[in-house]
Amino acid sequence: MKLRVAGGRSLRSRVAGTVALAACAWLLPYRLDTYMIHVANVVILFAILAVGLGLVMGIAGQINLAQIAFAGVAAYATAILTTRAGFGFWTAALLAILIASAMGLLVGMPALRMQSHYLGIVTLGLALAFTNWVTNAHVAGGAEGISGIPAPELPFVDLRNDYFFYYVELIVFAVTLAFGLFVVHTPLGRKMRAMRDDSLAAGAVGVEVPQLRMTAFLLSSVYGGVAGVFYAGLIRYVAPETFSIANMFLLLAMVIIGGRQSLVGCVVGAVALSLLREVLVDYPTYAQVAYGSIVVLTVVFVPTGLAGLPKRGRALLRRIGWLRSERGVVPRLGAFRPYAEEPPRNRGNILRLADVTMRFRGLTALQDVSLEVAAGEIRGIVGPNGSGKTTLFNVVSGLYRPTSGRVLLGERDMTGLRPHVLARHGVARTFQNLRLFPLLSVRENVLVALDQTSVLGAWRYAVWQPGVWRHNRALRAQADELLDRFGLTAFADSAPGELPYGTQRRVEIARAMARRPRILLLDEPAAGLNGDEVRELRDITRSIRSSGVTVVIIEHNMGLVMSLCERVTVFASGRIIADGTPAEVARSPQVVEAYLGDSAMSEDVPTEASR
């Protein structure tokens, strides 16, 4: 609730700014001649396209060079359906948007299996294939294109008039932008941003990365489709060169210069570059040199684009002392509030590995590892660096598919399932090198993990937005409860990178616990922590276990392992060399040998911090 008060003023100024801008946009046609209103109409279409591209590239992090082609598909579909098949404009438009979204799913399909640069070339290739098809196909009119598309009809207004068309476009633009912003700030967009920041960690907290990538492409193709349909209605003529790669790169430049991670920035970029192009309309090649150079300068010097300038400006002013520092008091980490005690939800063994072997080309990281973890225990995994501990976690959490052997969770065989499936079956983990989503706030980091709905449920966005909003509100309440339990309330709105290292570690544990997992895998949670923080970690881990969650912990801090774990498994060179209570393991000759070498037999094997 504190946030509401603090955010009140900026919210009010934001609303005022939006209203002022809307009023300007509404009054703009009174100042424009017939040529300029036509330009304005084209600019709005570019803005809609840019929002769509911003969603897939800036928000979801998927390179898409087929956005113009999506618009082309819809524009051509409208043209063909109206002139050749005799459909009315709006029927054709609806069908055209459906066809464009089908193309979006088709183009997005490679994204199920491949990453950025592959996606760049595949989408570019398919876009070229599209222009190649329309320049040759008889039905698409060949190089001459299709003319004589009927103007869209509405009661009372004549849309052949560019001034009326402007208002229709303006409303459509406002709706699409608002919808885009709604997506960004609700669970779907949050998952996309998490995937963009770190797709591995997103998978580990249960985000269905492949389906989400497809959804992003689908979303951007709908935006492309809307822009394409209105293009056909505005110009009433379509030709191949409108949807060429050159225009795709222009659109890309708009999004990059405006700031791809902000939808408003994308719009600003679209308007700015369109105006630049209009000023240099008699020198199109020089305009091309200009915007190409600006793209290069932007990526090198202002990667966040125009949208990032206010923040940079404020930081600069603060540095030279013109602006006061934001917060006077340094926020402090609160105390952890223990979970209520509960018996473990499973009996017997919760995790069983049977003869798991993991090979990377020549290197064998795990060799015939068999391991059983009983429900409700805290199991320690120790061993020298490079002995296969983290590989074990990667196999259990689904990042690696073992070369041979089986992984069972309870009674179910989970071998080789994708990370998000395992996360949904109750496996949670932290990472040795911290994998928080850097551009999401601490609260959002937790929110991504809290949301249990599937990506397939995204149809709700198209049908019932208030439901989505309410779901989001409920999630926020849960997130605040969780942050309060872990004493992180003061940091809820901070970026993870601004926090002290120990606090970041705690955020990662809170994020892992958001899903109420059955088994929690902690990978060196004490690394980099000071003495107090290690003690707090011990309390947190004990409380997590008492709440019914089984904990497996990789740790080099022997003091922590000895005092926390009921059983300890020792790894060396990819094999288990000892397994038992801490005291038994510490006496085992193999362990002593692995740690100290066989000549240095000693009674006091590390019981205090060895690192």
Partner 1 sequence: MQVFLQTFIGGVSLGAIYALVAMGFSLVFRTMGLVNFSHGNVVMIGAYIASTFYLSAKLPFALAMAVAIVVTGLIGVFIERVLRPLENKDFDLMLIGTIGFGIVLEAVAIIIWGATGTAVPNPVAVAPVQVFGLRVRTYDLVVLAIATAATLLLVFFLQRTKRGAAMQAVAMDHEAATAVGIHVGRSNAIAFMLGAALAALAGGLVGPLLYVNPSMGGTLGIKGFAGAILGGFGSIPGAIVGGIAIGVLDAFAAGHFQGYSELVTFVVFTVIIMIRPTGIFGERTVNRA
Q: Provide the binding-site residues for partner 1, judged by CB under 8 A.
A: 61, 63, 109-110, 113-114, 116-118, 120-122, 124-126, 128-129, 132-133, 135-136, 200, 245, 249, 252-253, 256, 285-286, 288-289, 291-296, 298-300, 303
User: What six digits make up the tokens of 510?
Assistant: 């809170």
How near is the Cβ of 295 to partner 1 at its closest, in Å? Answer: 3
Q: Burial letters for 350-363: b for 16+ Cβ neighbours within 10 Å, e otherwise?
A: bbbbbebbbeeeee
How near is the Cβ of 129 to partner 1 at its closest, in Å? Answer: 4
191 close to 472: Cβ distance less than 8 angstroms: no
112 versus 175: smaller Cβ distance to partner 1: 112
71 close to 228: Cβ distance less than 8 angstroms: yes
69 versus 448: smaller Cβ distance to partner 1: 69
Half-sphere exposure for 210 (CA within 13 Å, toward CB):
9
Angle at 573 between CA 570 and CA 577, to 5 degrees: 35
468 close to 186: Cβ distance less than 8 angstroms: yes
434 versus 482: smaller Cβ distance to partner 1: 434
> Angle between the 263-279 and 34-53 helix axes, to the nearest 10 degrees?
140
Q: How many Å apart are CA 294 and CA 302, to the nearest integer?
A: 10
Q: Burial letters for 79-100: b for 16+ Cβ neighbours within 10 Å, e otherwise?
A: bbbbbeeebebeebbbbbbebb
Q: Burial letters for 483-521: b for 16+ Cβ neighbours within 10 Å, e otherwise?
A: bebbbbbbbbebbbeebeebbbbbbbbbbbbbbebbbbb
Tally of residues, the chain: 611
91 versus 115: smaller Cβ distance to partner 1: 115
How near is the Cβ of 573 to partner 1 at its closest, in Å? Answer: 22
How near is the Cβ of 360 to partner 1 at its closest, in Å? Answer: 11
Burial of 464 (0-12, 13-18, 19+ CB in 10 A): exposed
How near is the Cβ of 316 to partner 1 at its closest, in Å? Answer: 19
How near is the Cβ of 135 to partner 1 at its closest, in Å? Answer: 7
361 versus 412: smaller Cβ distance to partner 1: 361
> Angle between the 162-185 and 34-53 helix axes, to the nearest 10 degrees?
20
Alpha helices by DSSP H, 147-279: 162-185, 187-197, 199-204, 209-235, 245-258, 263-279
132 versus 147: smaller Cβ distance to partner 1: 132
Closest C-alpha to 90, from 78, 76, 101, 72 = 78
Kind of pairing, strands 237-238 and 146-147?
antiparallel
Angle at 20 between CA 14 and CA 26, to 5 degrees: 135
306 versus 537: smaller Cβ distance to partner 1: 306
358 versus 576: smaller Cβ distance to partner 1: 358
How near is the Cβ of 123 to partner 1 at its closest, in Å? Answer: 10
How near is the Cβ of 253 to partner 1 at its closest, in Å? Answer: 7
Measured CA distances, 579 to 372, 393, 569, 583 (Å)? 10, 17, 4, 11
How near is the Cβ of 315 to partner 1 at its closest, in Å? Answer: 19
How near is the Cβ of 142 to partner 1 at its closest, in Å? Answer: 9
Half-sphere exposure for 487 (CA within 13 Å, toward CB):
17
Radius of gyration for the chain, computed over Cα atoms and rounded to the nearest angstrom: 29
How near is the Cβ of 523 to partner 1 at its closest, in Å? Answer: 15
How near is the Cβ of 455 to partner 1 at its closest, in Å? Answer: 20
36 versus 276: smaller Cβ distance to partner 1: 276
User: What six digits make up the tokens of 578?
Assistant: 């000892």
283 versus 501: smaller Cβ distance to partner 1: 283
Measured CA distances, 188 to 55, 420, 435, 442, 511 (Å)? 11, 15, 20, 17, 18
How near is the Cβ of 56 to partner 1 at its closest, in Å? Answer: 13
136 versus 454: smaller Cβ distance to partner 1: 136
35 versus 360: smaller Cβ distance to partner 1: 360
Q: How many Å apart are CA 249 and CA 112, to the nearest integer?
A: 24
Burial of 601 (0-12, 13-18, 19+ CB in 10 A): exposed
77 versus 482: smaller Cβ distance to partner 1: 77
300 versus 600: smaller Cβ distance to partner 1: 300
**DSSP assignment of 44-84:** HHHHHHHHHHIIIIIIS----S-HHHHHHHHHHHHHHHHHT
User: What six digits make up the tokens of 295?
Assistant: 């793209």
Q: How many Å apart are CA 188 and CA 461, to the nearest integer?
A: 9
36 versus 245: smaller Cβ distance to partner 1: 245
How near is the Cβ of 116 to partner 1 at its closest, in Å? Answer: 6
Q: How many Å apart are CA 24 and CA 41, to the nearest integer?
A: 15
How near is the Cβ of 409 to partner 1 at its closest, in Å? Answer: 26
